[in-house]
Amino acid sequence: MFPFFDSTIILLLPALLLSFYAQHKVGSTFRKYSNVASQKGMTGAEVAAQLLAASGIRDVKIEPVPGQLSDHYDPRDKVVRLSEAVYNQRSLAALGVAAHEVGHAIQHNEEYGPLAFRTGVLPVASIGSNAAMPLFMAGFFISTMDGMGEFGMWLLWAGILLFSFAVLFQLVTLPVEFNASSRAIALLVEQRILSEQETVPAKKVLDAAALTYVAAAVMALLNLLRFIMIARGRR
């Protein structure tokens, strides 16, 4: 029996459906509000600069980056990188995304606990995401060989342990992302960049983006549950 095509695969169906929905939702919501200009007429880059200055952050740069929805904050280089659809655009969607990335820069500046924890977990999570599956699969097949069962099970559980760090990373990402979005909306109102009415579409864009992180966390958790069930079934 191949470990990824057994009866436990049905556990992943809800996560797959949620993932498809989340991807559709974030794309359609961003496109919709990319066509709605803000009353202030500021670009995403201008908003990011104003919010950083208002937060007393002077050492974070703002740069354009290629790609669609490729926006992110790089804590190593202290750079807010905005996609072309955000950097030069004046839409409610662009301003919401730009403010969200500034929210991450503020988290970094304030040493926000969940962000610091996620940064600490990242090296182990990266190793886990790359090495867990090869170890798990090797352990699964080796455990079927005569005289190799115990060694195979050791490899299998080692893979599960490594994968659990990747799952932990996905889980701790949720409060980091939700907090950045909350900060973004509050700052946009506080700085009078968006009116109360305009924050509703901006929040819809950020909520749709947050759903993709929820879907990723659910998928990771269900996969971990599957692997544990498969391992226990090898006994």
Cα gap 77→179, rounded to integer Å: 21
Whether the Cβ atoms of residue 104 and residue 82 lie closer than 8 Å to each other: no
Q: Is the pLDDT of residue 234 over 70?
A: no
Q: Tens digits of per-residue pLDDT, 37-78?
A: 999 999 999 999 999 999 999 999 999 999 988 999 999 999
3-class DSSP assignment, residue 204: helix
Strand order in the sheet with 72-74: 61-65, 79-83, 72-74
User: Within a 13 Å sphere around the CA of 203, how many CA atoms are in the beta-carbon half?
Assistant: 15
Cα gap 69→2, rounded to integer Å: 36
Q: Tens digits of per-residue pLDDT, 80-89?
A: 999 999 999 9
Whether the Cβ atoms of residue 89 and residue 34 lie closer than 8 Å to each other: yes
In the chain, where the domains are located: 7-233
Whether the Cβ atoms of residue 100 and residue 209 lie closer than 8 Å to each other: yes
Q: Which residues pair with 91 in a beta bridge?
A: 37
Q: Which residues pair with 37 in a beta bridge?
A: 91
Sorting pLDDT into bands at 50, 70 and 90, what band is 128? confident
Cα gap 24→30, rounded to integer Å: 10
What is the per-residue pLDDT for 1?
45
Amino acid occupying residue 39: Q
Residues with a catalytic annotation lie at 101
Q: Tens digits of per-residue pLDDT, 2-40?
A: 455 567 788 889 999 999 999 999 999 999 999 999 999
Cα gap 82→19, rounded to integer Å: 24
3-class DSSP assignment, residue 112: coil
Q: Tens digits of per-residue pLDDT, 129-167?
A: 889 989 988 888 888 787 777 898 999 999 999 999 999
Cα gap 82→72, rounded to integer Å: 7
Report helix angle 149-190 to 196-233, nearest 10: 170
Structure tokens given for 146: 């005569």
